[in-house]
Every structure is written in structure tokens, then in C-alpha cells.
Structure 1
């Protein structure tokens, strides 16, 4: 447990964006280590928080808890995760169709992120790549991969880029939840109090369509604004560029 960071189970659930019930299920299924008990209270640390976030991401990728348990056990042992993450067919039994240009060999992907601790598992959990079979992965989000490569080409070490991506995903999830909560408190609440007829349903759909892209647009604009501001205020950076 990282010194100075402690959460009760309620605090851990809130910080990870999940529920206490889910955390108890994770304990029962053996995917979340037990807390450190002080008196009658269990306390969780930063490692627990990272573990819960990883579990949530893998669940979002469609991996069941049994598979997650195998994956995390292998991760903890430092085993090769290719065989565990690889899946040749969908849950419905249908073959996965993959564009040839999107595929990358597992060995090449592992080598690409060999300087990142648990790099293969982390880029999969982050949604950059997804397994096709034990030997092959595909690009799950080409835009994110391209942006990651731009940061790497800008001289930022790969492990720093992956770590920052994980933090950004956590920040983005909190922003998304906040906007969804806002929508439910306002537009959805108004719809619930209405007659819920065809006109109200149509209006709800229009409000949802109008609202959906706004959080991403506003967030991107604000982040770009503040990045530019902080860089422009960095006197050492400005002086170095002027000297050149």
C-alpha cells in the first residue's frame, strides 16, 4: 500500500467510479486483494484503486471476471499475457473480422512497449489495442494510437506517455459521469415529470443528441487553452526558443 493513501471501501468505490457491492464481488471472486485492517475497518491503498480501475476497463472490453482473474494473476506473476488475452472468436461464436491493416503481431506489440511495466496489458486495458488471437492484436482506437505515437516522437518516454494516458482516461471518465449526472438531473428529470408521449420522447432524443458531443468539445477546448497558457508562461522554455 502506497504510504499516505488510504480509502475506506466507500471512499474506494467513489474514487473508482463503482459501487461497494461491486467491490465486495471482486473480493469474493478473488480479483481484488483484501484491505489492510486497522481495528475493525479495512483500508485500501493506491494499488487497490489502480486494480479496480483495471478491472473496470477489462469488464468494459467484454472480459468476464474469471478471465480477469487469470489475467491479473498472470500480470502479478509477470507471465506472458498473450495466451490469456488472445481470443479467436466472439462470445456468440462468430469469427472476428479484422482489417488486415489494423493487425499487429503480439510479439511486435510486446516489443513496442517492452520499456513499460506490464506494457502489453496496460495498452489493452487502456483501449488502444484488442486481442484477435494468441498471436495477433488489432488497433482498437487508431486516433489514440496516433496521438500516443506523436507524444513519443516528441521525446516523451513511452512509459510516461502510457501513464499519462491512464490518468487522462480516469479524468475523462469523471468528466463524462459528471455530464451524464447533469443530464439526468435536468433533461431526464423533466422528461420523467412529463406525459412521456411521442412529442416528449422526441424532445428527449433531440436534447440528448445536442448534449452528447458538448462535453468532449468543451474539454478539448479548455485543455488546449490551458496547455498553451502554461507553455507561454514558462519563461525558461520561451527564452530557450528565442535564443534558437
Structure 2
């Protein structure tokens, strides 16, 4: 059976298989080499994700069967909602967010010791974009998220990765290296445009390659068309 890559996260993961999405790009990149398995849950924070982790991964193979090559863990955008604004029920205090990330990493490592765990920080927030998006549902006139708060959670995610000796994609920092990132990479101040998805995809590919995981290092599933003997096609499938 093909090896797996599992994508675990909130809406930015759940929507990663939409047109131009980073999950779809990964599936295309590893075509016939690995299956990309989506486990994204819109609106979820680390507290909720940890609560249902056993249920989420219950149907997937264990270590003795077919451990995934890698698992991306992409939470924090909802944890970082401000506790005194419209999405307060999604807020998770910073210290708990860090503890939850450690617990998620421990859970995944216990289930799949050989899997590469990749943390991804929350993206930066375009507060103007959030206000425009929330205009009809927000009487306060204030964004439920701020870039400053997202940055605090992103830095904590990077810190957890260092403590757990696992790679991290610092999306919050990376996106802001580009001029005009607010509208180029974010469709509503939070979720990703195709160009924003491209940043995530390329960053993950870079991490995977550093750890020896790429289409070049994985076997192709079944013979390529060019390898099939036209004089005796079925014989090609015997090995």
C-alpha cells in the first residue's frame, strides 16, 4: 500500500483541497507515490482537537500496519481569537495552547513513532480584511483576531517545536516577508488565497525534502506506462 501524509488542523487545513489549495498541491506532488489524508476541522482549536484526537485517527492504520511518513499539525488561528470579542468561545489561553501542542505531538508520536511531525504556525492576520468579512455579524467594529495576538501564538508554536525537536513552518513570519501580504495571501484576513496556499505548500515541501521525503525517494505505485511491454502487457504486473 502507498505511504501516507496526514494533514491535521482547522479550517485552513479542511479547505486545503479546494481549488489552488495546499493539500491538493501536495496530493498532486506525491501522485502515485503517497496518499495525502485530510483531517481538517473548521473552527477547531487545540483544546477541541486534543479532546477528539482518538476518534479522529481511530480508523487509520497503526504503527505496525502503515505509519504515515509525516503529519502536519496546523492549529492556532482559532486559539488566538481574543477572549473579549465575538469569537471568544474559540479562545485558548497561550499557556494551554503550548501544553496542547505538546500533548498532540506526544499523542501522534505514541501512535506513530516513525512519523515526522511538522508544526505550522497560525498565519498573520489582516485586521482590515477580517472587519470587511465580519461586517454583517459584528456590531463592535473590532476584529475578533489581531495580528499581534496571532504573532504571539506563532512564536509559542515555534518555541514548542524547538522543545519537542520537531520541524516547524513559521507561516506568520514567512508571509510578512512579502510586500502586500495582507491581500495577496489572505482572502478574508485569515484564510488563504491561492498564492497563500502556495506559500504553505512550498514550505512543507522544503521541510519534507530536508528530511529525505520527496517523490524522488519514494517508490512509484505499479509500473509506469512507459515500462509496460506492449508485446506482453500483463507480464509487467507480475513483479
Structure of greater relative contact order (alpha carbons < 8 Å, 6+ residues apart) = 2
TM-score in terms of structure 2 length: 0.27
Output the TM-score relative to the length of structure 1.
Answer: 0.26
More helix by share: 1
